[in-house]
Structure 1
Amino acid sequence: MTAAALLNDLKARKFKPVYLFHGEEPYYIDLFGNYIENNLLSDAEKGFNQTVLYGRDTDMITVLNAAKRFPMMSEYQLVMVKEAQDLKWGKDGDDDKKGNDPLLTYLEKPVPSTILVFCYKHAKFDKRKKTYKAMDKNGLVFESATIYDNKVPGWIEDYVREKAYRIQPRAASIMGEYLGNDLSKISNELEKLMLNVQKGHEISAEDVQNNIGISKEYNVFELQDALAKKDPLKANRIIDYFAANPKNNPIQMVLGALQNWFTKILRYHYIGDKTPSNLAKELGVNPYFVKDYEAAGKSFNVWKVIEIIGYLREYDLKTKGVESTGNTTDGELLKELVFKIIH
């Protein structure tokens, strides 16, 4: 089940008796857990029918005793275990010759008036376990997986679209590049951003700069543009800005972005069908950016791109102290690198 479909079911009050939200990305675990906690019961019902426990402060017997109760003057009762990765889960029936695993016994026949929720964060639940299979069979399991960096701009576009906004592809890419793939952090920044722009407005790179503080002129995408045009003056102005603002523009992030960009340029050269739609698909980019890769492909032939990727690896090692002179600043390293890329 997709995240959107699951949220729609929760809003429609189509509940399962057991939920396991697990995975390395906490955003969706928090989203679904908070929604159930805030909306399953009315304020009047919560006093008698809502139990919130924390994995490290409780045990499975306490959880199950709470789950086996019946609601008072309410259709449901909620038992929620937050930080469930810290809970001692027992033997899973594997080492108990009598098969007397209380959790497994409950999961095979859960109380229908209890909504039992496990929020298992920062790790995947072991899918080989009998308890996992029982929760998947008689309840609902949702894995909140880490999103790949190249998928973040699309996620941002979908997020703002659901809020009745639009965002320019470049603005979404700038945010994704600078905020990383932490969806909670991204959603918080987007919420603050949308408070300051008119509903239905198309969010621009300028809006991102004014409200989040990411420069629309001095960023990795503008550096890539300067390199593609072989414009050393613009490239060095951007690097000077990066050097003056190292917290927001760490050299490791810049090198990583350039590595990803030149890898895609290399891939561009080996794609036979260079129609815009096929390039967008093969490169995994928004069609808006295809023209940028076409321009970069003309500026850097295959052999130059291979050489540049070698430079990027070399300078990545230098930032880690390997083959470094010791006194060279990050800004100086980037200027050396830019000179080699352009020339």
Structure 2
Amino acid sequence: MSELKKMLTSFKKEGYKPVYFLMGEEPYFIDFLCDYFTENVISEEEKSFNQVILYGKDVTVNDVISQARQYPFMGDKMLVVVKEAQDLGKTIDQLVDYFKAIQPTTILVFCYKYKNLDKRKELYKTLSKNENAVLFESAKVKDYQLEAWIKSFVNDNGLEIEPKAVAMLAEFLGNDLSKIANEIGKIKIILNQNKLITADLIEQNIGISKEYNNFELINAVAYNNEAKAFQIAKYFALNTKNNPLVVTTALLYNFFSRLLQYHGITYKNAGANPAEIAKQLGINPYGLKDYQAASKVYPMKKVSQNIAVIREIDLKGKGVNGSLSHDDLLKELIIKLFR
């Protein structure tokens, strides 16, 4: 996110470079920048003759270079955008030839999604070092970074959001950034003059239950609230499509794995700084209190046992060593976690 902001700032301060190569596993940032270029570089009245959109599956690199070397018509610059550039395959390496005679009046943008260029190849080295090019890597937002990203995105849109609402979005939508951005965009319209996104708004407009979700299940487990955990499990059993067992076991496994790590950190360094512990666990500092509480309920030996239980239930849910119903598997999971 910080690299994206730096690039947007550079546009305003320094103008545009002749070549932008946007690559990486996260399509959201690439799409965002692509939209920015197509909306801002060429004026509306010039777009029909000075803005060209190409698609990797329909052209060759030579076609792209030929288009890029044309002069703008009745204007000072031309924009050439190659969407789905990953479909150019290995021929993308031929782009090196363009740097032998760059057209300074053209802004050439490649949208190369879901992977990165081979860093050993000449094209990557050229893009990295050439003063006329910008190589932007769109990396996936890691799970532990997701809540911070959501909060930052919301703030950038002039809004505030409750911590619980952040957790609900992260848990329900995962790190599908495009979907998260779309849902927040819808809520922004609904909010009108209000600025705060609450758990109630998430529940009413996105369909995520604020009481019965994996975030609340983990909270119930962490704070030794067996009754609430069973209530949530019962709700999950009645709504299996929106609450697949594999997601529940994965999130519980992550929780107890981090709890095991928390025990290890605090055992070795009882006076460790909370911010440093949160960093080592790869979590938002806000969530550290849940691990502090859970560590008093589950000693290290019980944590290890629970990790084994979660693996066992996950395998059973996949048809290994049994064929119990979703409801029965959840009941067995909750009982074994608490007992």
TM band (smaller chain): over 0.9
Residues 308 and 91 of structure 1, relative CA distance in 2, 3 Å threshold: closer
Residues 284 and 53 of structure 1, relative CA distance in 2, 3 Å threshold: same
**Alignment partner, residue 96 of structure 1:** none
**Alignment partner, residue 322 of structure 1:** 320
**2:55 aligned with 1:54:** yes
User: 8 Å contact 1:228–1:299 — kept in the other structure?
Assistant: yes
Task: Specify the SS of the correspondent of 2:120.
Answer: coil
**Alignment partner, residue 38 of structure 1:** 39
Q: TM-score, with normalisation over the residues of structure 1?
A: 0.91
**2:338 aligned with 1:342:** yes
**2:74 aligned with 1:73:** yes
In 1, distance between residues paired with 2:278 and 2:92? 49
**Alignment partner, residue 86 of structure 1:** 87
* Correspondence for 1:151 among 125, 145, 157: 145
Residues 335 and 15 of structure 1, relative CA distance in 2, 3 Å threshold: same
User: 8 Å contact 2:259–2:294 — kept in the other structure?
Assistant: yes
1:147-191 per-residue CA deviation (whole Å, 9 max, x = no partner) reads 111211110000001111111222212211111111111111111
**Alignment partner, residue 162 of structure 1:** 156
* Correspondence for 1:279 among 264, 277, 280: 277
**Alignment partner, residue 308 of structure 2:** 310
* Correspondence for 1:223 among 217, 222, 232: 217
Q: Which moved further from structure 2: 275-284 or 146-155?
A: 275-284
Task: Specify the SS of the correspondent of 1:110.
Answer: coil
Residues 45 and 13 of structure 1, relative CA distance in 2, 3 Å threshold: farther
**Alignment partner, residue 234 of structure 1:** 228
Shift of 1:198: 4.6
**Alignment partner, residue 121 of structure 2:** 129
Shift of 1:65: 1.1
Shift of 1:91: 8.1
**2:203 aligned with 1:209:** yes
User: 8 Å contact 1:60–1:89 — kept in the other structure?
Assistant: no
Amino acid corresponding to residue 311 of structure 1 in structure 2: V
Shift of 1:330: 1.6
Amino acid corresponding to residue 18 of structure 1 in structure 2: V
In 1, distance between residues paired with 2:276 and 2:143? 21
In 2, distance between residues paired with 1:88 and 1:257? 37
Higher helix share: 2
Amino acid corresponding to residue 50 of structure 2 in structure 1: N
Residues 215 and 257 of structure 1, relative CA distance in 2, 3 Å threshold: same
Task: Specify the SS of the correspondent of 1:127.
Answer: coil
Shift of 1:204: 2.0
User: 8 Å contact 1:71–1:77 — kept in the other structure?
Assistant: yes
User: 8 Å contact 1:53–1:81 — kept in the other structure?
Assistant: yes
Q: Which moved further from structure 2: 310-319 or 300-309?
A: 310-319
**Alignment partner, residue 19 of structure 2:** 18
Task: Specify the SS of the correspondent of 1:119.
Answer: strand
Residues 11 and 248 of structure 1, relative CA distance in 2, 3 Å threshold: farther
**Alignment partner, residue 109 of structure 1:** 101
User: 8 Å contact 1:164–1:200 — kept in the other structure?
Assistant: no
**Alignment partner, residue 98 of structure 1:** none
**Alignment partner, residue 291 of structure 1:** 289
Amino acid corresponding to residue 262 of structure 2 in structure 1: Y
User: 8 Å contact 2:144–2:284 — kept in the other structure?
Assistant: no
Shift of 1:284: 2.7
In 1, distance between residues paired with 2:277 and 2:193? 33
* Correspondence for 1:118 among 110, 113, 121: 110
Report percent identity of matched pairs: 44
Amino acid corresponding to residue 169 of structure 1 in structure 2: P
Q: How do 1:242-261 residues align onto structure 2 when only pairs under 5 Å count?
A: 242-261=236-255
In 2, distance between residues paired with 1:218 and 1:61? 55
User: 8 Å contact 2:171–2:215 — kept in the other structure?
Assistant: no
Structure 1 unaligned residues grouped into runs of 5+: 93-100
